Structures are given as C-alpha cells and as structure tokens.
Amino acid sequence: MAAAAQADAATARREAAGTLADGTAVEAVTLTAPNGVAARILSYGATLQRLSGPDRNGKVADVLLGYDDAKDYAEHPNFFGVTVGRYANRIGGGTFALDGRTYRLSLNDKVNSLHGGARGFDKQSWRIVAVKDGSVTLALTSADGDQGYPGKLDVTVTYALSDDGALTVTFAAATDKPTVVNMTNHAIFNLAGEGSPMGAMGHRLTIPAQAITPVDANLIPTGALRPVAGTVFDFRNGRVIAEGLRDGRDPQIVVGRGYDHNFALDKGPTATPQLAARLEDPVSGRVLEVSSTEPGVQFYTGNFLDGTYVGKHAHVYRMGDGIALEPQKFPDSPNKPAFASPRVDPGKPYRHVMIYKLSVAR
C-alpha cells in the first residue's frame, strides 16, 4: 500500500517484510525524499533498518549497520537501528526508587539493566497505526510491571522524512502511574556505506559538549561531570574519531573499550531539537547532523562488535565498523538526583524529538 504524494514531496510505501520464527508477520514502510534520501522502518522493534543517501558523486549507499532480513533482528539481536525503551542506556544494579518504593528491573548487562531489559521495546512487535506522505507512526502498549517498570505505558514512535531528506523521529509515551521513561534510536552509522572496509573511525565528529559523565567499571556514571578540555573526549571543534579511540592513557577509554560515554550537551534539554552531534566522512562527503530535545548524547564506537555478527550483504561487523550517536537523558538518571529527571506522571506525557539530517559536503 502506498501513500499518494506529489512528485516533489516525500513518499511512503508499506509492504510485507517476512515473518518471525513464531509466525508473527513483520511489515516495512519505506520513506523516500526527492533528493534521494530514503529510510526503511520495520514494525519489529520499530527499527530503522536502512537510511540511504547519495555521496558527493551521486552514488547512493545505505549508511546503517544491520540485517537484510527482519527475522535476524529477533534471532541475532544487537540493537541495530532499534527503538530502545523503556529506558535507553544503563540503570545501575537494575534498581531505582520512586516515591519511596524500590523497583527491581530485568538484568541483561552483568549487574545492570540495559536498554529496557531482556525484553525491551526493541524485542517487541509494534503496530503500524498511520502511514502518510513521508511518515509512519508505530504504537506499542507496555503493561504495568513490564521488565519491572511501574505503570501501563502507551507508546508511539513517528518517523517523518521531510522533502529535503531530514528524518525526524518523535517518541511519545503516556502512563497511568508515575514511572521513568528514556527513549532513543540505536542506529549505528558508517557514512562511507555499511560494510565499508575502512570502517567509520576516519570520520570527523563534532559534539557541542564541555563535559562527559564519567563511568565506573560497570559503565555506570559516577554522578560527576568531567570537563573534556585537554582530553580525547574534546570534540567541540571536531576531531577524527581514531585519534583518541585507543589512547590507554585515559582510564575512561580503557574502561569503555573505546568510546562508550554520555556527553552532557551544552544546550541542555530544549523545547525544540538542537544540534547534538555532527559526523562527516571526508571520503564520501556524506554528513550526518543529529539534533535532539534531550540533554545528552551517548557516543559509542561499536566496541562490542567482535566479528560474530554477520550483517547486511554478509558483512562481518567488527569494532569500529560503525558508531552510534544516541540522544537521551543521562544514563542511570533515576539513581542520580543531580541529573535531569526521567520521571513521567499521569497527565504529563513523555516526548522526545530527534532529527537525522543526511546531506553532502561540497
């Protein structure tokens, strides 16, 4: 089923995308802009399966790590392009207190709860509830107690591609009792093209942040803010990722096996999306600008990709083959009163708007 559109406007095409092992049908919606940028979204995990665009010579390539078949996202999960929730990133010890009650969450990262737990939003089938010109909205209901979280949560994610190729992702959630919510997309990018043999470590990254939230041995923030000035975490004026990736003189690089850290954005939380990161591949000329309403962005260099994941076009993914830039609230915020609160109450819904803007530097 295709949504009708003018020739100079973004379009949407809905189609079957196979089945999971249990027989659940998966659907896909492909959004295409007049400038050649296109995005494909799967109903399983509300997953951004593909994001493609031209390089400076007009050659189109998919810039996302992932799988060709929808069933592989269920059978070999690694968060490629998925919607993560209820709580993106880590909650230390898998516990938090709210209004005097302690909640114990599903543990799936040593002693932590990661990206919503063992069966987070990325491992569930979403309902496609609307397909319009250049956009798709998916919905999910998370029951009270799901993965240990309080409150029934009604969630939607909308992907909307503008005519000039900017993909806006809007996360919204409403609860019937106090809870915590922190949602984002876990796309892993290689602007040279997925599977490029040179990987993504030659990309130039800019993050407008004066500080990171340093982590302990379990990758949980200590609660402090560490200035980036004079360190390999200083991306304020742009730097090539590989320059600091293996600098063992910085204990944060050692504990993270590279970059796997939250940057406290100078802008803080904002009513409208503002720049969180800019990524550029000097070879292809592709540029990705990530904007968000949230106060932080997690920068991750694929440190746990170890060659055991066989992705699109039978490419074997290894560390450095792509990077994630995940706008969000700070990790472990429910346990860190100094961090922006992730609390959501009845009648006061959650909303996070982020934008992936793919373009070409001339």
Select which of 27, 115, 186, 261 is catalytic: 186
Tell me which residue of 176, 213, 189 sits closest to 329, measured CA to CA.
213
In whole angstroms, what is the distance from residue 321 CA to residue 357 CA?
21
Structure-derived torsion over alpha carbons of residues 139, 335, 268, 208, reported in degrees to the nearest 10: -100
In whole angstroms, what is the distance from residue 78 CA to residue 114 CA?
12
Give the total residue count for the chain: 362
- Tell me whether residue 186 is one of the annotated catalytic residues: yes
Amino acid at site 5: A
Select which of 194, 203, 326, 352 is catalytic: 326
Tell me which residue of 291, 105, 305 sits closest to 200, measured CA to CA.
305
179's tokens: 């809870």
- Tell me whether residue 294 is one of the annotated catalytic residues: no
285's tokens: 């000329």
In three-state secondary structure terms, 49 is strand
Active site residues: 186, 326
